[in-house]
Structure 1
Amino acid sequence: MSKKIGVLLIQLGTPDSPKNSDVRRYLKEFLMDPRVIDIPFFSRLLLVRGIIVPFRTPKSAKIYKELWDLGKGKSPLLTHTEEVKRLLQKRFDSDNVTVEMAMRYQNPSMESVLDRMHKANYDELIILPLFPQYASASTGSAVEKAMDIIRKWWVIPEIKIISQFYNHEGYIDSIVERSKEFDLASYDKIMFSYHGLPERQVDKVYDDGLCSDQPCESEVNDHNKFCYKATCYATTRLIAAKLGLSEEQYIVSFQSRLDKKWIEPFSDKIIEQWGKEGKKRILAFSPAFVADCLETLIEIGGEYQEIFEEHGGEKVQLVPSSNDHPRFIDCLEDLIRKA
């Protein structure tokens, strides 16, 4: 009898709708995660419930409404992830493998999906967070939540976890293929913009020393192999090599920061600087996101365009995320089969 295997794809999450109530619920769950805002509980509670959520909800709801309009009335993140699940399941139709998908925050909830997987009585579970580069606030949080749920089961099957895949050729190829929609030579500069993290969170990767003590901008080694900053730079080098880009043509930067103590350089400041320097056309990649979402479509595609125009630039062109590209599905299939 062949093993019965369940695969759980985990994405970050999305509000159920752009309504204030749904956005508020999403922000509370997301920002109260101690791996996202890693400060003591009562300080986090005061900050999130007393300051961030009340003031941020109306603005965020308006932005999510823009995102839903771009997604034709749906969350693009949810739509793309559902399609990835469907296409991936087709790759395993002749195998005893079932692919499920859950969101770390909100719906479909990890509790409901894992309850269904528990009832299916799998011999083996493969947990695959859809974050190419490991970070405690994304991959770490998703895995911790899954294990918190599974540990309550009386019978726990064999479990395998795929913690990152930034260097998988299929994933890299999917980004390279997306960029072929554009004439790279027609852009003044190329930006590889990754979601930001507080410096203290990458420092926590190391038992001794700090992230700044490591050559994270130039290599991945045994010490920094799970450092988000190091793997972001490594991702860029792999993409740039396939595109034949020189180091002078591009920059690695980080977006969505909350304060100055986050990983630098900041993407919005680079966009502003390039506008002031007379650059007219920018091509922007977002390789931390396998599916287009608020951070790609609205932040890069909308807000950065406005910043660039304000400072003399003309066009910030977003390269679409991997989404449901066949090479990305190849990547996920290969990861699962090897697991």
Structure 2
Amino acid sequence: MIEKTKNTGVLLINLGTPDSPSTKDVRKYLTEFLNDPRVIDISKVGRALLVNGIIVPFRAPKSAKIYKELWKHWDNNSPLLTYGEKLKELIQAKYHNQNVTVEFAMRYQNPSLNSVLAKMEKVGYDEIIILPLFPQYASSSTGSAIEKALSIIHKWWTIPTLKVQSSFFDHPGYINGFVASAKKHDISKMDHVVFSYHGLPERQITKVHPELECTNCDCDKSYKPNQDLCYRNACYQTTRLIADKLGLTEKDYTVSFQSRLGKTPWLQPYSDQVVKDLAIQGKKNLLVFSAAFIADCLETTIEIGDEYQEIFEEHGGEKIHLVESLNDSPIWIDTVHEMIESLR
């Protein structure tokens, strides 16, 4: 019998970025992003009125200014796109002379899932590994990326074997990557540590386990191994795993959630309020993780590094020390390679 070598395609997916920090391109990005029913999970008519009639027209010009500041930090480029392309190249290098091709796409805007998957369809892979680059599963990020990819692939005449990684918040390499980044700072000189994760509306968490209201769940006290796809549970467990590696006790850190939108209840406590309260308590130096992001972006560089720094100083604090994300660090490249290999 002739042994056939599998031809494998790997699809890495991140959230997205405007093509440029111009108001026009930011408007296009926000329109696609916020009209996703997994992101704003209200009625189609209500979402269209809210997003297209209120949020995008008012938010796009303001967001464009913020994106311009972000791009200044990163040599006039999008860090999310820059590190996504680097990740693709560095992972591809690990498969030299092997039948594995690595592609990178964004859920929103470019490189689009439509264009990248159209390219992959022409190859005729035996299997495709889909790896959304979100450590903690959320329907509005991982779920949306997987749904979009599968909605495109299901129209193909020939559908290869598909393998999907839904989360990796407890992968040792991911944890060790953030531990290594944290150790670039003198942790002994920090007054407190904040683990800030991207926020979600509480209703989206409740949908994961309808029998249990998010506010009545004690996953902030102990890990629930049967709820790995609950974002809140995964965030708290991520924190415990990193804190344990760094020798931090519960009194040394606070878990919080950033980037809320609208007036409905989101996961609490809110990061901006936590930063303010810690400053008022007399804390002068904070070490802040944003471990929901594997690459630095607007939420880390601008929201935490600039906006929270301003809040902290206004209330008596001195310096927020932002833990660098995984970006293109060797440990992160090795981790992604390991995850791919585990699915092959």
1:309-339: CA deviations, max 9, x gaps?
1101110111110111111111111111110
CA contact (8 A) 1:218 1:234 kept: no
Kindly indicate whether residue 196 of structure 2 is the aligned counterpart of residue 197 of structure 1: no
Residue identity matched to 2:91: L
> Which residue does 1:327 correspond to in 2?
331
TM-score by structure 1 length? Answer: 0.98
**In 2, Cα distance between the equivalents of 1:216 and 1:21?**
42
1:297 paired with 2:301, answer yes
Alpha-carbon distance between aligned partners in 1 of 2:15 and 2:327, rounded to the nearest angstrom: 14
C-alpha distance in 2 between matches for 1:209 and 1:231: 16
Write the letter of the residue equivalent to 1:338. Answer: S
SS in 1 for 2:232: helix
Aligned to 2:132: 129
Structure 2 residue runs of 5 or longer lacking an equivalent are none
Report Cα offsets for 1:260-316 as digits up to 9, x if no partner: 500000000000001111111111001000000000000000000000011011101
CA deviation after TM superposition for structure 1 residue 219, in Å: 3.1
Contact 1:4 1:96 in 2 (8 A): yes
Distance in 2 between the 1:71 and 1:337 partners?
31
- The aligned runs of 1:196-275 (5 Å cut-off) are 196-258=199-261, 259=263, 261-275=265-279
Q: Deviations over 1:179-199 (max 9, x none)?
A: 111000111110000000000
Structure 2 match to 1:31: 34
The counterpart of 2:87, out of the listed 59, 84, 87, is 84
Further displaced range: 196-205 or 329-338: 329-338
Match of 1:312 among 304, 310, 316: 316
Q: What is the CA–CA distance in structure 2 between the aligned matches of 1:335 and 1:313, rounded to whole Å?
A: 40
Mark the CA change 1:48 to 1:260 in structure 2 (over 3 Å): closer, same or farther.
Answer: closer
Residue number in structure 1 paired with 2:12: 9
Deviates more, 1:83-92 or 1:105-114: 83-92
Alpha-carbon distance in 2 for matches of 1:50, 1:148: 28
Higher mean Cα deviation, 212-221 or 109-118? 212-221
C-alpha separation in 2, matches of 1:178 and 1:136:
28
Counterpart amino acid of 1:219?
A: S
TM-superposed deviation, 1:83? 0.8
Contact 1:202 1:211 in 2 (8 A): yes
Once residues 97 and 172 of structure 2 are traced to their aligned partners in structure 1, the CA distance between those partners, rounded to angstroms, is 25
Asked whether the 8 Å contact 1:206–1:223 carries over to 2, the reply is no
Distance of 2:91 and 2:221 partners within structure 1: 34
Cα distance in structure 1, aligned partners of 2:85 and 2:158: 29
Measured after TM superposition, the shift of residue 222 of structure 1 is 4.7
Report what 1:337 is aligned to.
Answer: 341
Superposed displacement of residue 216, structure 1: 1.2
TM-score, scaled to structure 2: 0.97
For 2:267, what is the secondary structure of its paired residue?
A: coil
Letter of the aligned partner of 1:295 in structure 2? E
The equivalent residue for 1:114 is 117
Q: Shift of the alpha carbon at 1:94? A: 3.5
Cα distance in 1, alignment partners of residues 319 and 268 from structure 2 = 23
Instruction: Give secondary structure in 2 for the equivalent of 1:178.
Output: helix
Structure 2 residue aligned with 1:58: 61
| CA deviation vs aligned residue, 1:131-189 (integer Å, no higher than 9, x gap) | 00000000000000001100110110000000000000011111111111100011111
After superposition, what is the alpha-carbon deviation per residue over 1:224-283, rounded to whole angstroms, capped at 9, x for unaligned? Answer: 221000000000000001101111110110000123500000000000001111111111
Give distance in 2, aligned partners of 1:220 and 1:313: 32
Measure, in 1, the Cα distance between the counterparts of 2:150 and 2:238.
Answer: 28
Who is 1:286 aligned against?
Answer: 290
Residue of structure 2 equivalent to 1:155: 158
CA distance in 1, matches of 2:119, 2:30: 26
